[in-house]
Amino acid sequence: MKIIAGIVLFYPDIVFVNQNIKTLLHQVDEIVLLDNTPNSKGINLICPERVHYISNGDNYGIAYALNQIARFAESIQAEWFITFDQDTLIPQDLVFSMIESYGLGRNERIGIVCPCVEDIKTGSIEPKLNHDKYVNRCITSGSMTFLAAYNEIGGFDNELFIDEVDHDFCYKLKLNGWKILQSSKSIIKHSLGDIEHRTLFGRVITVRNYSAFRKYYQARNRIILARRYDLESNLSAAIRIGYWILVCLLFEKEKINGTKSLIKGMRDGIKRSRSEIMS
């Protein structure tokens, strides 16, 4: 069972990434670092034998980098690839526990084995499981993907660029009869961003303070996936985005630019033709 790991970089914390490289080296056959940092040369990254560094010279999006990781896996005839964000802290036994979970469900058509996620800041784990279970979707960081399943469904959608890339991939897997297995013993520590908790209408809400750049893709891709998979109507998705706009105006740091990005993303998602949505 040949497995490679890929880490997607964007202005990374070099010390943190080097720590993860050391942790992964004894768990996988090869490691590939995909750098989306503009004009980056990967200075001071640990790149011994079995670690490969690829600089894209610009930010082509998370989907593009994930597809590069899959193509690298294919080029060295690996069966599985496991992907990581640069801000995920990788435990020493992660891959081994995922292989164990896969072995228990080997007779099933498993396309992804994914971990549970512990928030680095709060220590809370989602979900808290007593046993492995099948789920409908997962994040890409820490997920181990079967290359044959990836190839069957056509990979990640480059056009989505960043947000919802993981969920789109999961929906395609499920539609093609593949399963996503969440391993109860596999837990990654992951940064969920610049999170704050505020009160709105008597309820505690989570304020994530995403950049205006990212907010555009959150809104646009919410609409695209809603239409692509008949998840909800345009009206329902627009109401959800309207809630995001309210939270942005009341609590977030980039109020004006963030709101403009959400509105533009929603508008662009709604304007897409059916053929563009499905392509």
- Among 217, 128, 119, 127, residue whose Cα is nearest residue 168: 217
126, β-bridge pairs: 117
pLDDT at 79: 97
Note the Cα 160 to chain centre separation in Å: 12
pLDDT at 223: 96
- Among 104, 208, 186, 72, residue whose Cα is nearest residue 139: 186
Joined together, the tokens standing for residue 58 give 């610009």
Q: Which domains can be identified in the chain, with CATH numbers?
A: 3-190 (3.90.550.10), 196-278 (no CATH)
Which residues, including other chains, have CB under 8 Å from residue 174's CB and lie 6 or more apart? 136, 180
Higher local confidence (pLDDT), 80 or 103 = 80
29-40: per-residue pLDDT in tens? 999 999 999 998
169-191: per-residue pLDDT in tens? 999 999 999 999 999 999 999 98
Q: Does residue 105 carry a pLDDT above 80? A: no
Query: What is the distance between the alpha carbons of residues 242 and 234, in angstroms, rounded to a whole number?
Result: 12
pLDDT at 260: 98
Which 8-state DSSP code applies to residue 160?
G
Which residues, including other chains, have CB under 8 Å from residue 36's CB and lie 6 or more apart? 8, 9, 10, 56, 58, 59, 60, 61, 62, 64, 65
Cis peptide before 48 (omega within 30 of 0): no
Query: What is the distance between the alpha carbons of residues 9 and 11, in angstroms, rounded to a whole number?
Result: 6
Confidence label for 89 from pLDDT (cuts 50, 70 and 90): very high
First to last CA, the chain: 33
Average pLDDT, the chain: 94
pLDDT at 107: 75
Q: Does residue 42 carry a pLDDT above 80? A: no
Q: Whole-model pTM?
A: 0.94
Q: Does residue 131 carry a pLDDT above 90? A: yes
